[in-house]
Amino acid sequence: MKKWLWLLLPLMPGALYGQQPDNFEIKGRLVNVTADVIYLSSMKNGSLATDTAHVRADNTYVLKGTTPGGEASLLRYNPETKRLLGMAPFFLSAESFEITHTQSFSNITVTGSTAMQQYRQVNETAKGYNAKIKLLEEQLNAASSSGNTKETDRLQQQLSAIKQEKLDKAYASFIKMHPSSPVAVYALKRYTVAADEKDAARAYALYEQLSPALQENYEAQELATALKAKVAFNSTVAIGRQAPDFAQADTAGQPVKLSSFRGKYVLLDFWASWCGPCRADNPNIVKAYQQYHDKGFEILSVSLDQPGAHDKWVKAIHDDHLTWTHVSDLQYWKNAVVALYGIRGIPQNFLIDPQGKIIARSLRGEDLDKQLKAIYNQ
């Protein structure tokens, strides 16, 4: 195993790799293609790994190593000029198989790999829906532009149905039929990326259908963690639910409870001094606070600042003129309230009514002002 080649990182597609990799062997052959060294770029437990093989006099090469299975690429790469000379993506699996490059380095034929056949099967099934989805999207845009509300609604329903069918037929069905295949983790990732937020529970149920070994796969566990957070976000802190209570220390170290704001409308705001988008949206929040605070509007901001960053946190509060209550345990993404509310990215916020129920979330820019205008009848 050679050292990591960080220069190849932008060239790698998303990959899926497990905790206990098995052996693979690639027997390569070049037909009317010249190369001296072949690089194999893959991922293991979230890190980019590169294996190399020298091309023999008979234009063949052999690559051996360990992999839990996932998307990978064969590359021709000049380390002196830092120039990529060719790339051939494929699905790497713990098998012994052959790859033939014909006429060009990227034109490959893979034989003897069950995983590669399954990978193609999944992608071809998904590809079969793309033309119909594109047509419906074009028709939907036209109907929306013309103001035809009834036709827009009808087409939107059709589009949602065909997208769901694509997810079910291309990805979910494969996972159910091949729960032990490394391609099932790839299918789960594609399902998760394409599914709506509200489908997180369904996607997590697909994760649970993976074989026990695949559930320990590094990428599968990463997906499971994200999906759990989505499920929490969509259920525990869904609109209409009671906002979970908590207590954290303010900038002076005094505990503040969310429930202490009961009787008023309060914006529970998640941010951090290091978060550029958060800082960019702060003027909108400041404006809303100045306009509605006298009417009973409050803000409680929870910071995801890191351990030892108390001074940076306080400085950002002063620099951005955030004159309301701020709390944090300074544990970065391990902040206890982040886990409680299923936060996966910031800025994020929840508007809570006087009875402690969540009435809106993810209010950015003018959306917050519109919501408050509706509340205070302006």
Mark whether 274 and 195 lie in a shared domain.
no
pLDDT tens, residue by residue, 139-153: 999 988 888 888 988
pLDDT tens, residue by residue, 259-277: 999 999 999 999 999 999 9
Decide which of 66, 84, 112 is a domain's last residue: 112
Is the CB of residue 272 less than 8 Å from the CB of residue 356? no
pLDDT tens, residue by residue, 272-312: 999 999 999 999 999 999 999 999 999 999 999 999 999 99
Decide which of 112, 129, 146 is a domain's last residue: 112
**Per-residue pLDDT at 78:** 81
Q: DSSP class of residue 332?
A: G
**Per-residue pLDDT at 21:** 57
Mark whether 258 and 370 lie in a shared domain.
yes
CA gap 378, 367 in Å, rounded: 14
**Per-residue pLDDT at 197:** 65
**Per-residue pLDDT at 15:** 35
Question: Does residue 1 sit within a domain?
Answer: no
**Per-residue pLDDT at 201:** 86
Global confidence as pTM: 0.66
Mark whether 255 and 364 lie in a shared domain.
yes
Write the DSSP string, 14-67: P----SS-EEEEEEEEEES---SEEEEEEEETTEEEEEEEEPPTTSEEEEEEEE
Question: Does residue 101 sit within a domain?
Answer: yes
Question: Does residue 143 sit within a domain?
Answer: yes
Mark whether 256 and 360 lie in a shared domain.
yes
CA gap 50, 54 in Å, rounded: 13
Consecutive H or E run containing 109: strand 108-111
Mark whether 131 and 222 lie in a shared domain.
yes
pLDDT tens, residue by residue, 215-226: 999 999 999 988
pLDDT at 364 over 90: no
CA gap 201, 68 in Å, rounded: 26
pLDDT tens, residue by residue, 161-212: 999 999 999 999 999 999 999 999 999 999 998 876 668 889 999 999 999 9
Question: Does residue 324 sit within a domain?
Answer: yes
Is the CB of residue 117 less than 8 Å from the CB of residue 125? no
- Domain count across the chain: 3
pLDDT tens, residue by residue, 9-53: 333 333 333 344 589 999 999 999 999 999 999 988 888 888 999
Mark whether 104 and 133 lie in a shared domain.
no
Mark whether 230 and 263 lie in a shared domain.
no
Decide which of 112, 140, 162 is a domain's last residue: 112
Q: What is the CATH number of the domain that holds 18?
A: 2.60.40.1120
**Per-residue pLDDT at 378:** 56
Mark whether 14 and 84 lie in a shared domain.
yes
Query: Which residue segment(s) compose the domain that 348 sits in?
Result: 247-375
Tokens, residue 95:
């098998």
Single-letter residue type at 107:
N
Residues in the chain: 378
**Alpha helices for 257-352 (secondary structure H):** 276-292, 310-319, 336-340
Mark whether 131 and 175 lie in a shared domain.
yes
Percent of the chain with pLDDT over 90: 73
| Mean pLDDT, all residues of the chain | 89
Q: How confident is the model at residue 102 (pLDDT cuts 50, 70, 90)?
A: very high
Residue environment code for 231-241, b if the CB has 16+ CB neighbours within 10 A, otherwise e: bbbbeebeeee
CA gap 278, 352 in Å, rounded: 20
Mark whether 196 and 147 lie in a shared domain.
yes
Question: Does residue 181 sit within a domain?
Answer: yes
Beta strand 265-271 with 297-303: parallel, antiparallel or unpaired? parallel
Question: Does residue 242 sit within a domain?
Answer: no
- Dihedral of CA 93/99/103/105: which sign? positive
Mark whether 193 and 226 lie in a shared domain.
yes
CA gap 310, 327 in Å, rounded: 11
Mark whether 12 and 53 lie in a shared domain.
yes
Q: What is the CATH number of the domain that holds 371?
A: 3.40.30.10
Question: Does residue 293 sit within a domain?
Answer: yes
pLDDT at 232 over 80: no
